[in-house]
Structure 1
Amino acid sequence: MKKIGTEIRSWVTSIVIAFGCALLIGVFVIQPTKVSGHSMDPTLHDTQRIFISKLSHTFRYEPKYGDIVIVDSRVDRARSFLDDLEEHPLISLFKGGDDRIVYVKRVIGKPGDVLEFKNHKVYRNGEALDEPYLNEPMNYTSPDKVTVPAGHFFVMGDNRNNSKDSRNIGTVPLDHILGIKM
């Protein structure tokens, strides 16, 4: 009987350690995620699985222009470490996480950039962006210029005519950029 108890304790310990390692890796290093919707067509497709590097979020370094990022769309609230834990796939599996708050988008503007939307194109600092990943012209235009504030980023989906992005939610703070597609 004592041998069975030792064996069970050994298994439980191994499972707890494996769960802890998976949690740490998923929160700080790399995490799988699923694309939900068509806002990144044709680059990424609905239900496609991708891996994101969490190192940019862990060490707070800025993404580059054109990077595909995963963002917390609740830009009007502060994020905490508890948010990072709750969004981990293992935790959200038990908790029933809300995938609708996490968007997959492309970085278009960085702090200090001035963006314009005219002639079916995006202009950054007066220059039209070359965006070969788009499959149709953007229907959105605006007479207003957007200046990206310090510590924030402007993100857009590749399917510009079917994307909820910074045009809707506003600029995204650096701490709301959860990772970069690998």
Structure 2
Amino acid sequence: MGFDFELILAIAFLVTGVFWVYDRIVYFPKRKAVLVNMPTETRKALSKDAQQRLAQTPKFVVEVKSYFVIIAVIFGLRSFVVEPFQIPSGSMLPTLKIGDFILVNKFDYGLRLPVLNTTIIPTTEPKRGDVVVFKYPLDPSLNYIKRLVGLPGDQISYHNKTLMVNGEPVSKEFLAKLPVSLNPNQEPVDVFSEHLGEAQHEIYNSYRFTPHEGEWTVPAGHYFVMGDNRDNSADSRFWGFVPDENMKGRAFYVWLHWDEFFSIPSFKNNGLIE
């Protein structure tokens, strides 16, 4: 089971919110009454802590409710506007590298309820070629990132390293051969420029046989996703389709690269995700 930060943040928002409301109803009127009866100079000289003590506000109430505003801001931004993620694997090479920190647009695919991920205000639909973040269907506490290949109703096939959508091969052009020394997967690969929907991006193809080949029909309300590192990606070819309710948003920007804790963060590869 993964670390479900979204659920923990939602619980923290609710708990601190309850204490904030409790304080406003029970103790705020007491503090106000105490201050009203004080001389102006005395009132101005009192710190917030002193005001809390004069109104006999319990310390644990003061502590818990003090976090509400900052948690509410973080919770609102992460839930409805933009959410940060770190890339943990090489399945999206060469588009995204291990250690890339990315931003995900949470509004692109509709305004959704936090944790439940139910759409309450529709906006735009996911498009073929988008780089998407979603809850892993086999363990929703985990977040995955892949490229959206198949929309509901699409016929997808993958044979001999050739991707076909609705009977048409996806256009790709050979760019270069990448030696072992330049590839984190420690194997030589061919680099191609692929045109998928409105997206133009690079992909890797290794020289190994790809075991998970086949044909798939994308059911209604689901999507078919693949990694750009085509022969080193656990994706829809292995574990199936992504339900619409699992979609979290579209990855759109790399803002930092940090390999490991003791390395120096880099901003040289910052930019939009194609």
**TM-score category by the smaller chain?**
0.7 to 0.9
Partner of 1:30 in structure 2? Answer: 82
Higher helix share: 1
Partner of 1:49 in structure 2? Answer: 101
Q: 1:105-152 deviations in whole A, cap 9, x for unaligned?
A: 000000000011123111000111125111325843667421000000
- Relative distance call for 1:157 and 1:7 in structure 2 (3 A) is farther
Name the aligned partner's letter for residue 162 of structure 1. N
Matched position secondary structure for 1:26 = helix
> For 2:74 and 2:52, how far apart are their aligned partners in 1?
23
Is 1:134 aligned to 2:203, yes or no?
Answer: yes
Count of residues in correspondence between the two structures: 160
Matched position secondary structure for 2:146 = strand
- How far is 1:28 from its partner? 1.5
- The answer to whether the 8 Å contact 2:89/2:97 transfers is yes
> For 1:156 and 1:144, how far apart are their aligned partners in 2?
13
Partner of 1:107 in structure 2? Answer: 148
- Relative distance call for 1:5 and 1:140 in structure 2 (3 A) is farther
Select the residue among 213, 226, 229 that pairs with 1:156: 226
- The answer to whether the 8 Å contact 1:39/1:158 transfers is yes
- The answer to whether the 8 Å contact 2:212/2:238 transfers is no
> For 2:105 and 2:137, how far apart are their aligned partners in 1?
20
Matched position secondary structure for 1:134 = strand
Partner of 1:5 in structure 2? Answer: 50
Is 1:16 aligned to 2:78, yes or no?
Answer: no
> For 1:102 and 1:144, how far apart are their aligned partners in 2?
25
Is 1:67 aligned to 2:130, yes or no?
Answer: yes
> For 2:227 and 2:213, how far apart are their aligned partners in 1?
21
- The answer to whether the 8 Å contact 1:121/1:137 transfers is no
> For 1:135 and 1:143, how far apart are their aligned partners in 2?
16
Is 1:120 aligned to 2:161, yes or no?
Answer: yes
Compute the RMSD of aligned alpha carbons.
Answer: 2.8
Q: Unpaired runs of 5+ in structure 2?
A: 1-44, 113-120, 173-192, 194-201, 253-274
Q: Unpaired runs of 5+ in structure 1?
A: 80-97
Work out which of the two has the higher radius of gyration on C-alpha atoms and give 1 or 2: 2
Taking structure 2 as the reference length, what is the TM-score of the superposition?
0.52
- State, as a whole percentage, how many aligned pairs show the same letter: 32
- How far is 1:25 from its partner? 1.2
Name the aligned partner's letter for residue 107 of structure 1. L
Taking structure 1 as the reference length, what is the TM-score of the superposition?
0.76
